[in-house]
Each structure stands twice: as C-alpha cells, then as structure tokens.
Amino acid sequence: SYVLTQPPSVSVAPGKTARITCGGNNIGSKSVHWYQQKPGQAPVLVIYYDSDRPSGIPERFSGSNSGNTATLTISRVEAGDEADYYCQVWDSSSDRGVFGGGTKLTVL
C-alpha cells in the first residue's frame, strides 16, 4: 500500500516561511492535497491538486510537488497558522484514500 511520510514537527518564527514536506514513492505523479487541523476541530482543506487554493485560504499558503516530495509552504507565518498539517493522496491502485502522519507546526 502507498505510504506518505511527513516530519512530526516543524518550528518557525512569526513572519518567516514554513515548509512542510510529504514524501512518497514517485509522489510527483499523483495529486497531493493538504489539510490544516487545529486542536478539537475538523480538518480544513488548504491546498488541492498540489498547488490550488480553495476560496478563503490566504495566498500565503502554496504547494508544490515533484519527484518523491510534495511541499506545503506557508509564507509570513502567523500565530494562527499553528496547527497540524496532513497531506493526502488518492491511491488509485488500491482505490483508497491515504493520509500522511501529520506535521505539527509550532510558531515560536
């Protein structure tokens, strides 16, 4: 089965840029989606199809995907961005959804 690997934690100072990676075998050939989850809340979609933003998501959120790594980039990080972030793909070979292990973003 397809496996997505994320770093458990990323720390960044306010105003700086955070980069959260999601590794998978030839993940560049798949569409990657990203979700933000704050404590006690449901996940919220922040990036879909590698780099598209849903309406209402700030332009500070962007994504890229190539080779074996997809990346969620958050520019000019704010305290309110502190959350867990999950990447997700659809594994067409097994016809099921796959999530990464999640990355806790801490704003210092």
Partner 1 sequence: QVQLVQSGAEVKKPGASVKVSCKASGYTFTNYAMHWVRQAPGQRLEWMGWINAGNGNTKSSQNFQGRVTITRDTSASTAYMELSSLTSEDTAVYYCAREEGSPYYFDYWGQGALVTVSS
Instruction: Give whichever of 61 and 86 is closer to partner 1, judged by the CB atom.
Output: 86
CB of 4 to partner 1, least distance (A): 9
Query: How many amino acids of this chain bind partner 1 (CB under 8 A)?
Result: 24
Distance (Å, rounded) from C-alpha 2 to C-alpha 68?
12
The verdict on 21 binding partner 1 (CB under 8 A) reads no
CB of 94 to partner 1, least distance (A): 8
Binding partner 1 by CB under 8 A: which of 33, 65, 81, 105? 33
Instruction: Give whichever of 36 and 71 is closer to partner 1, judged by the CB atom.
Output: 36
43-102 positions binding partner 1, by CB under 8 A: 43-45, 48-49, 54, 86, 88-90, 92, 95-102
Region of 94 please: left (phi>0), alpha (psi -120 to 50) or beta.
Answer: alpha
Binding partner 1 by CB under 8 A: which of 30, 36, 62, 77? 30
